[in-house]
Amino acid sequence: MTQTTQPIQQAAAIVARAHRLTALVGAGLSASSGIPTYRGPGGLWTRQRPRQGAPPLLSYQEFVRDPAAWWQARLAAETDPSHPIYQMKQAVDQAAPNPGHLALAQLEQRGILHCIITQNVDNLHAAAGSRAVLEIHGNRNRLRCLQCHRRTPRNTQTPQNPPQCQQCNGLLKLDTVMFGEPIPPDVLQACRQAAEQSDCMLLVGTSGTVNPAARLPLLAKENGATLIEINPEATPLTPWCDLSLTGPADAILPQLLNSI
Ligand code: OAD
């Protein structure tokens, strides 16, 4: 590889050689699908997060203190056009996968991408056709039982408040991980294993500021992986990356796919 080779071609050559390619994905991938990111200009937390603590209805402690009151307030917020939860729900309900999601699905279908570790809860990887997806922060379309950990589609929510697991009568919460909530151990373990076994990891549209997800590329690197970042901005993970593809993921990922 010569010094003059373009970064996309360099990345394509690395990806083509990889035996165990993974991708760690963040909100930036879904930005061009119309879903706001969390940080940076216009980000959800930039606009709405109080100086201290979690935004209303997003704290795990608040949920466990009174699950019935939480569910009642959540369902009300989802139908109140002035509430940020309603506005986010509208954005995600209307979103469709963009060319970046579709390129990742193609990489999997071509046998190149082993799995996606996504911090996004928007279900757009599945909508794009990706199958091997670890959702480290959960999925907005699912409920999770806090007792038996079974996940079920949200539309199976029971009429009781708080909703109960039909298998074990445990308490159901949204699968989405809340502020102050530990990552479910089964998912965290699978993410760590995927990172450790990677020989190349794409870091797509993440600010790399939220642990434990942000530590996964470092775990991969410790185990010998090459890191390739795809982001219009530098992040705290940039110094650890072997290559940075600077730009929006919905443009760069299709270029990468077409260069392999
Ligand atoms: P952030 O909002 O922290 O970061 C978004 C990143 O996407 C930034 O680095 C942007 O530069 C980049 N970006 C913006 N537009 C992009 C584009 N078109 N293509 C590629 N990159 C772009 O989002 P996350 O890193 O995903 O947790 O945030 C991590 C977690 O923080 C989220 O999963 C969420 C939040 O608290 C939970 O909800 C549990």
Mutate which of 32, 175, 202, 210 to test ligand 1's pocket (most atoms within 8 Å of Cβ)? 210
Judge contact between 151 and 123, C-beta under 8 A. no
Q: From residue 78, how far is each of 72, 83, 130, 156, 251 by CA, in Å?
A: 10, 7, 28, 17, 33
Per-residue confidence (pLDDT) for residue 3, from 0 to 100: 47
Judge contact between 32 and 100, C-beta under 8 A. yes
pLDDT digits (tens, 9 = 90+) for 63-72: 999 999 999 9
Q: From residue 208, how far is each of 62, 94, 111 by CA, in Å?
A: 26, 26, 27
pLDDT tops 70 at residue 52: no
Q: What structural domains does the chain harbor? A: 5-35+97-140+182-259 (3.40.50.1220), 44-94 (no CATH)
| C-alpha atoms less than 13 angstroms from C-alpha of 99 in its C-beta half-sphere | 11
CA–centroid distance, 229 to ligand 1, in Å, is: 13
Residue ID of nearest Cα to ligand 1 atom 22: 28
What are the CB-based long-range contacts (under 8 Å, 24+) for 219-226? 219/192, 219/195, 220/22, 220/195, 220/196, 223/195, 223/196, 223/197, 223/198, 224/199, 225/195, 225/198, 225/199, 225/200, 225/201, 226/14, 226/18, 226/199, 226/200, 226/201
Count of beta carbons in the 10 Å neighbourhood of residue 225:
23
Which SS3 state, helix, strand or coil, does residue 241 take?
coil
Residue ID of nearest Cα to ligand 1 atom 30: 210
Per-residue confidence (pLDDT) for residue 157, from 0 to 100: 77
CA separation for the pair 81, 146 (Å, rounded): 30
Beta strand residue intervals within the chain, DSSP E: 21-25, 113-118, 133-135, 142-145, 151-153, 172-174, 200-204, 226-230, 243-245
pLDDT band, residue 30 (cuts 50/70/90): very high
Residue 85 structure tokens:
């939860």
The pTM for the full model equals 0.95
When pLDDT is averaged across residues 1-21 and rounded to a whole number, the result is: 86
Residue 129 structure tokens:
């056709």
Report which of 206, 211, 198 is spatially closest to residue 229, judged by C-alpha positions. Answer: 206
Report which of 82, 58, 79 is spatially closest to residue 70, judged by C-alpha positions. Answer: 58
CA separation for the pair 256, 94 (Å, rounded): 27
Q: Does residue 177 line the site of ligand 1, with CB under 6 A?
A: yes
Mutate which of 25, 38, 229 to test ligand 1's pocket (most atoms within 8 Å of Cβ)? 38
Q: Which residue has the higher pLDDT, 221 or 4?
A: 221
pLDDT band, residue 54 (cuts 50/70/90): confident
Per-residue confidence (pLDDT) for residue 51, from 0 to 100: 64
pLDDT tops 60 at residue 4: no
Per-residue confidence (pLDDT) for residue 192, from 0 to 100: 98
CA–centroid distance, 156 to ligand 1, in Å, is: 30
Which amino acids are annotated catalytic? 137
Which SS3 state, helix, strand or coil, does residue 20 take?
coil
pLDDT band, residue 43 (cuts 50/70/90): confident
Q: Which residue has the higher pLDDT, 42 or 25?
A: 25
pLDDT digits (tens, 9 = 90+) for 136-193: 999 999 999 999 999 999 987 788 899 999 999 999 999 999 999 999 999 999 999 9
CA–centroid distance, 213 to ligand 1, in Å, is: 12
Q: Does residue 20 line the site of ligand 1, with CB under 6 A?
A: no
Q: Does residue 22 line the site of ligand 1, with CB under 6 A?
A: no
Sequence-distant (6+) residues with CB within 8 A of 240 are 217, 218, 221, 227
pLDDT digits (tens, 9 = 90+) for 76-130: 999 999 888 998 899 999 999 999 999 999 999 999 999 999 999 999 999 999 9
pLDDT digits (tens, 9 = 90+) for 212-226: 999 999 999 999 999
Per-residue confidence (pLDDT) for residue 1, from 0 to 100: 45
Residue ID of nearest Cα to ligand 1 atom 36: 38
Residue 126 structure tokens:
């599945």
Nearest atom of ligand 1 to the alpha carbon of 230 = 20
